[in-house]
Amino acid sequence: MKNAVVIGGGLAGIAAALELADAGARVTLLEARPRLGGATFSVERDGLWVDNGQHVFLRCCTAYRAFLDRIGATHDVELQRRLAIPVLRPGGKVSWLRRTSLPAPFHLGASIARYTPLAVADRVRLVPALRALQRLSLDDPTLDAETFGAWLSRHGQSERSMRGLWDLIALPTLNLPADQASLALAAMVFKTGLLEEAGASDVGYATVPLQRLHGEAAERALATAGVDVQVKTRIRSLDEVDAEIVVVAVPHDEAMDLLPADALAAGMDPRALGASPIVNVHVVYDRPVTSFAFAAAVDSPVQWVFDRTASSGLRDGQYLAVSLSGADGYDERTSDDLRDTFVGALADLFQGARSADVVSFFVTREPRATFRGVPGTLVHRPGPRTNTPGVYLAGAWTNTGWPATMEGAVRSGAAAAREAVMA
């Protein structure tokens, strides 16, 4: 039986530890923080459970969904039977992005034809762009040489189309707008999530606090698997670890502080991946203001808004969380400034918010939420193997083929464990 140490208790580290334990290894998981869950966690504030971010997944996130099964948490998420996203505009206007029972890519045809945030001419021009996107090969390395926005412009997409449709999907999945994101990552998201299987884009979300969904459920699953979990244990050097297998499952900048200088291929520098922020604006009202579980918005500073009333434990009123991805600029604004912007913006979208009182308003910030998936990203994302014998890498920043998502994190942990077991 091999000894294995996993450094990092986020989704990647948990997935790696479970995979290694299932393969028969004696596993220790070390986490610097007092909890598991990594970048997905909750805190208690004024009697409410507050998630650090509004994490969603799609039906095509097969590794993440299997992970939920493995830790016994599938009953704590909701997955749509069929994609249905309300898209709001100021004045209470609502359009829908829905899929039909037709096979991909025809499943979105009726929805696009009726998508009134775009002019008829823009809707017509979506069709050849979607066909061109479908023809792209994800194995083509040149896709990582330009932005998604530049590619869309070349394929007849107006600024209105980018802001009114493409960014609705690009921002929450890539944590960057189309005009900054790598075409390679965007193509992967749109092909896998929208264009290959009709049901792939159905949306899932947590119905309980993230700490319960991931951290607490993972603790139980790891204990059952025989993994020795040690929290509040920070590793500053691999010299502190004595094991035949070491999986480094921490953010890319921290990983580089741990790895030997020659652990990665020449020219590969994960520090060059940078960071992209996410800001969440939390508003608690004295009464319900919307019946939507979640919604996207256009012509508004609101990007996506989620009803977190039930999961937070709120008994009276309604708790809405506005998620701002690619939040450059927002992350530096004061809470008072953001309140001035977003309380009014929500009132423009939800008629009920105009007469409701704001009971509580606060902001949470993740300045280094994900790596920055701009062109040139791929060369700095290593696979699970390193040049150091017995040392493997995991994390959503590694070369999973996915952007920095929960799916990518889980895939990376499983890949690192499999590589270690096969070595």
My answer on whether 392 and 246 are in the same domain is yes
Is residue 81 in a domain? Answer: no
My answer on whether 179 and 226 are in the same domain is no
What CATH code is carried by the domain that includes residue 281? 3.90.660.10
My answer on whether 362 and 232 are in the same domain is no
Is there a contact between 396 and 304 (Cβ–Cβ < 8 Å)?
Answer: no
Would you state the pLDDT for residue 224?
A: 98
Report the amino acid identity of residue 311.
S
My answer on whether 260 and 301 are in the same domain is no
Other residues' Cβ atoms within 10 Å of the Cβ of residue 409? 30
Across the range 387-400, mean pLDDT stands at 98
Which residue among 370, 396, 412 closes a domain? 370
Is residue 96 in a domain? Answer: no
Give the separation between CA 164 and CA 155, rounded to whole angstroms.
16
My answer on whether 269 and 344 are in the same domain is no
- Count of domains in the chain? 3
Give the separation between CA 66 and CA 407, rounded to whole angstroms.
10
Report the amino acid identity of residue 271.
R
Q: Exposure of 363 by Cβ count < 10 A (0-12 exposed, 13-18 middle, 19+ buried)?
A: buried
Across the range 253-272, mean pLDDT stands at 96
- Which run of H or of E encompasses 354? helix 351-355
Residue with structure tokens 């939507």? 292
Across the range 198-207, mean pLDDT stands at 97
My answer on whether 269 and 384 are in the same domain is yes
What CATH code is carried by the domain that includes residue 27? 3.50.50.60
Is residue 11 in a domain? Answer: yes
Report the amino acid identity of residue 270.
P
Is residue 263 in a domain? Answer: yes
Give the separation between CA 68 and CA 73, rounded to whole angstroms.
5
Is there a contact between 273 and 395 (Cβ–Cβ < 8 Å)?
Answer: no
Give the separation between CA 274 and CA 74, rounded to whole angstroms.
33
Is residue 395 in a domain? Answer: yes
Give the separation between CA 311 and CA 80, rounded to whole angstroms.
17
My answer on whether 187 and 336 are in the same domain is no
Is residue 98 in a domain? Answer: no
Would you state the pLDDT for residue 207?
A: 97
Is residue 67 in a domain? Answer: no
Is residue 13 in a domain? Answer: yes
- The parent domain of residue 13 ranges over 3-40+208-273+380-422
- Give the rounded percent of residues in the chain with a pLDDT score beyond 70: 100
What CATH code is carried by the domain that includes residue 112? 1.10.405
My answer on whether 289 and 355 are in the same domain is yes
Is there a contact between 38 and 13 (Cβ–Cβ < 8 Å)?
Answer: yes
My answer on whether 224 and 268 are in the same domain is yes
Which residue among 159, 179, 200 closes a domain? 200
pTM comes to 0.96
Give the separation between CA 378 and CA 371, rounded to whole angstroms.
11
Among candidate residues 80, 239, 174, the one with its CA nearest the CA of residue 404: 174
Give the pLDDT band of residue 1 (cuts 50, 70, 90): confident
Would you state the pLDDT for residue 323?
A: 98
The answer for residues whose C-beta is within 8 angstroms of residue 332's C-beta and 6 or more apart is: none
Q: What is the pLDDT of residues 319-340, one digit of tens each?
A: 999 999 999 999 899 999 999 9
Phi, psi of 85 (to 5 degrees): -120, 115
Would you state the pLDDT for residue 206?
A: 97
Q: What is the pLDDT of residues 299-321, one digit of tens each?
A: 999 999 999 999 999 999 999 99
My answer on whether 224 and 357 are in the same domain is no
Is there a contact between 377 and 146 (Cβ–Cβ < 8 Å)?
Answer: no
- Give the rounded percent of residues in the chain with a pLDDT score beyond 90: 98
Q: What is the pLDDT of residues 96-154, one digit of tens each?
A: 999 999 999 999 999 999 999 999 999 999 999 999 999 999 999 999 999 999 999 99
pLDDT over 90 (residue 423)? no
CA distances 390 to 245, 270, 320, 340, 365, Å, are 5, 20, 46, 53, 36
Give the separation between CA 411 and CA 55, rounded to whole angstroms.
17
Summary mean pLDDT of the chain: 97
CA distances 351 to 89, 93, 289, 347, Å, are 12, 10, 7, 6
My answer on whether 348 and 223 are in the same domain is no
My answer on whether 142 and 196 are in the same domain is yes
